[in-house]
């Protein structure tokens, strides 16, 4: 019995001294492109429109992703559309700021580990007639956290519409 008691006591001492190591992530958000789904459709009035679903993965070490209450920022996620014109991709500056700057909502308290890991899906639609009916285009995306740390910039796949 004493050998078993000694072994159990030894194992308890060894494992109680081990600290679980958690992976540390940067307080600057990091994003990774996953998917872009594009569908051409009609809006309620019968006008041609484009429906977009953007999917990316986000990691923020302190979890402070949410609305930014600063007059210089409309939202916390920036989408820039680039379209092919005369063999060169150009930025579409005609898209309204409300479409370019969607807001990723605040998740809330995350517990002891503040790291936020999330799949983000952004859905939006815009009219494609008489402008914005591009057949070759892609988006660049970046995110700000509530401390105004800017994430890396990602590019979506290029979409080719026949």
Quick: pLDDT tens for 10-30.
556 555 555 545 578 889 999
Residue whose structure tokens are 């680039």: 82
pLDDT value of position 16: 57
How much is the pLDDT for 90?
94
Query: Order of strands, edge to edge, in the sheet holding 116-127?
Result: 30-42, 48-60, 116-127
pLDDT at res. 69: 87
- The per-residue pLDDT for 129 is 80
Q: What is the mean pLDDT of residues 102-120?
A: 83
Give the predicted TM-score (pTM) of the model: 0.79
**C-alpha–C-alpha distance, residues 98 and 79, integer Å:** 10
User: How far lies 71's CA from each of 67, 74, 79, in Å?
Assistant: 12, 7, 19
- Tell me, what's the pLDDT at 58? 96
Between these two residues, 4 and 39, which has the higher pLDDT value?
Answer: 39
- pLDDT at position 112: 72
What's the DSSP call for residue 157? Answer: P
Burial of 146 (0-12, 13-18, 19+ CB in 10 A): middle
Higher pLDDT, 148 or 9: 148
pLDDT of residue 162: 78
- Report residue 85's pLDDT band, with 50, 70 and 90 as the boundaries: very high
Cis-peptide into 130, omega within 30 deg: yes
Confidence of residue 88 (pLDDT cuts 50, 70, 90): very high
Reported as type and span, the H/E element at residue 151 is: none
pLDDT for the residue 94? 79
Look at residue 120 in the predicted model and tell me its pLDDT: 94
With 80 as the cut, is the pLDDT of residue 99 above it?
A: no
């Amino acid at each position: 019995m004493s050998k078993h008691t000694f072994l159990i006591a030894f194992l308890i001492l060894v494992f109680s001294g081990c600290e679980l190591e958690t992976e540390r992530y940067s307080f600057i958000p990091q994003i990774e492109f996953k998917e872009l789904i594009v569908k051409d459709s009609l809006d309620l009035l019968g006008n041609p429109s484009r429906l977009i679903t953007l999917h990316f993965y986000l990691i923020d070490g302190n979890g402070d992703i949410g609305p930014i209450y600063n007059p210089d920022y409309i939202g916390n996620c920036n989408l820039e559309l680039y379209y092919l014109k005369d063999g060169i991709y150009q930025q579409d500056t005609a898209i309204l700021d409300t479409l370019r700057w969607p807001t990723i909502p605040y998740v809330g308290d995350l517990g002891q580990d503040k790291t936020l890991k999330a799949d983000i899906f952004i859905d939006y639609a815009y009219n494609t007639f008489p402008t914005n009916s591009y057949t070759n285009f892609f988006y660049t995306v970046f995110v700000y956290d509530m401390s105004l740390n800017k994430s890396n910039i990602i590019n979506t796949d290029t979409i080719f519409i026949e």
